[in-house]
Amino acid sequence: MILSFQNCPRMSRPNDTCSHTDAVSILCSGYAGYRLANGSTGCSGRVELLHGGAWGTLCDSQWDLQTAHTLCQQFDCGFALSIPAGQLFGTGDGLVWNGKFGCERNESRLRDCLVTALGTTECPPGSEASVVCSGCLGGRLVNGTECSGRVEIQHGDTWGSLCASHWDLQDANVLCHQLNCGYAESILGGAHFGEGSGTVWSDTFHCEGTEPCLWDCSRTALGNPACSPRDTASVICSGRSEALRLLNGESRCSGRVEISLRGVWGRVLDDQWDMDDASVVCRQLQCGVAEKAYYPPMSERGRGPVGLKSVRCGGNETRLTLCDISPPETTQAGIAEDVGVVCSGDLV
C-alpha cells in the first residue's frame, strides 16, 4: 500500500498547459478536525470531531486521560487536567461518533494516534467525551518520571533546561500544579536528573505559588548571567495518585480543596466540614496546622467533576482518603458544598 503521495508513480509533462478550471479537487471520507464545544474557555468543553464531512460528539466509552492529553497538546492548551463525566458541557444536537484512540505519550495530535471502529452508534446519556485542559504551555519535566525530573521551558520552538540559580519552591509548586502533579516536595540542583544536551535558559521566575501557570509569574531573563549545564533546575512533585491541591487562595496552603483520584482532579464536597477535616488536608500538603475550615463563596465554587462527598476525619489521619469518606454517587446532589481550608503554612 502506498502511504505517501510522493511515492506514487508519476509522469511530468512540462510542455502541457493547465488552466485554473482544470485543477483537481478531492473529498475525503476520513475524520479531519476536532473542536471543544460549550466550554467556559477555549481549552475545555465537549469533544466533537469531523468525520465523513459531518461534525459529531465523541462518545467517552473509550476516552481516556492520555488521549485527552494529546488533544490538549494539539490545541496548544497544555495538559489534560480532567475528563469530566456526565453532561458538564451539554449533550450536543448532532451525530455521535464512537471510536478508540490508541494514543502514546509522545504524540501531539490525535491524527497521529491509532484509531479503530469510528462510526455512528448509540451513546448512553451522560457519556459524551469532554476534557478540561490546563491552558498552560512551555513547561515540562524530563529524565525522571511524569511528576519529577529536570525542568525544561520553551522559548519559541526551542526547549531547554532551566538554570537553578533562582529556582525555588514557590516556582516549583506552580509547575507541579500546572502539570497536574500535586505540589513540590523538593527541588534539587546540580543536574540531579542529568545535564541535558541543549540550551540552558537563564530565566528567573518570581512566583507567589498560586499562579495557574509558570508563565503567569513575573519573569526576568535579560541581563542574567550564563548558566552551566551542571546547575539545572529540577523538582520532585507529590504526584498524581490521591494528590490534593488548594485553589483560589493566597498561597498553595489555602483555598478550595480538590483531590486527584486515578489521575482525574475532582471537587471535595461536604455539608459538615470542620477543623478535624481541615487538619488532615493541611498535614497531607505539609502546610502546618489548620487555621480555618470554611465554605468558599459562590464565585469560587468549582464546576468540574466531584471526587469526594461527605468526609469524616478524626483529625489524626495522614491522608484525606484514610478518613471515613463517601463516593460522590452516595450523597444526594445539591446538599453538600465545596470546602476550603487555611493552613498555618500561609503565615511562615
CA–CA distance, 334 with 66 (Å, rounded to integer): 31
> Residue 27: which residues within 8 A CB-CB, separation 6 or more?
53
- One domain for residues 232 and 257: no
- One domain for residues 152 and 174: yes
- One domain for residues 194 and 288: no
Residues in the chain: 348
Please report the pLDDT score of residue 121 as a whole number. Answer: 62
* Domain presence at residue 9: no
* Domain presence at residue 283: yes
- Give the total number of structural domains in the chain: 3
Q: What's the one-letter identity of residue 122? A: E
Please report the pLDDT score of residue 331 as a whole number. Answer: 41
- One domain for residues 186 and 98: no
Helices within 159-310 (DSSP H only): 169-178, 275-284
Q: Give the distance, in angstroms, between the CA of residue 165 and the centroid of all CA atoms in the same chain.
A: 28
Farthest-apart Cα atoms in the chain, separation: 87
Please report the pLDDT score of residue 22 as a whole number. Answer: 52
Buried b (16+ CB within 10 A) or exposed e, 150-186: bbbbeeeeebbbbbbebbebbbbbbbbbbbbbbbbbe
DSSP letter at 59 equals: B
Please report the pLDDT score of residue 347 as a whole number. Answer: 57
- One domain for residues 258 and 231: no
Please report the pLDDT score of residue 128 as a whole number. Answer: 84
- One domain for residues 117 and 164: no
CA nearest neighbour of 311 among 291, 344, 338: 338
Please report the pLDDT score of residue 27 as a whole number. Answer: 37
Helix (H) or strand (E) holding 66: helix 65-74
- One domain for residues 252 and 338: yes
CA nearest neighbour of 309 among 257, 263, 247: 257
Which of 237, 262, 293 terminates a domain? The answer is 237
CA–CA distance, 152 with 147 (Å, rounded to integer): 13
- One domain for residues 158 and 122: no
Mapped onto helix, strand or coil, the DSSP state of residue 215 is helix
- One domain for residues 167 and 204: yes
Mean pLDDT, 10 residues at a time, the chain of 348 residues: 39 46 43 78 86 82 78 82 76 78 71 68 75 82 87 86 90 87 82 83 88 86 74 86 81 89 80 94 90 92 82 88 66 70 78
Q: Which CATH number is 37's domain given?
A: 3.10.250.10
Which of 205, 237, 269 terminates a domain? The answer is 237
Instruction: Locate 70 and state its grid cell.
Output: 494529546
Give the global pTM.
0.54
CA–CA distance, 83 with 47 (Å, rounded to integer): 10
Which of 181, 215, 237 terminates a domain? The answer is 237
Please report the pLDDT score of residue 240 as a whole number. Answer: 64
* Domain presence at residue 11: no
Mapped onto helix, strand or coil, the DSSP state of residue 115 is strand
Please report the pLDDT score of residue 226 as a whole number. Answer: 77
Q: Which domain range does residue 145 map to?
A: 139-237
Q: Facing residues of 309 across strands?
A: 269, 326
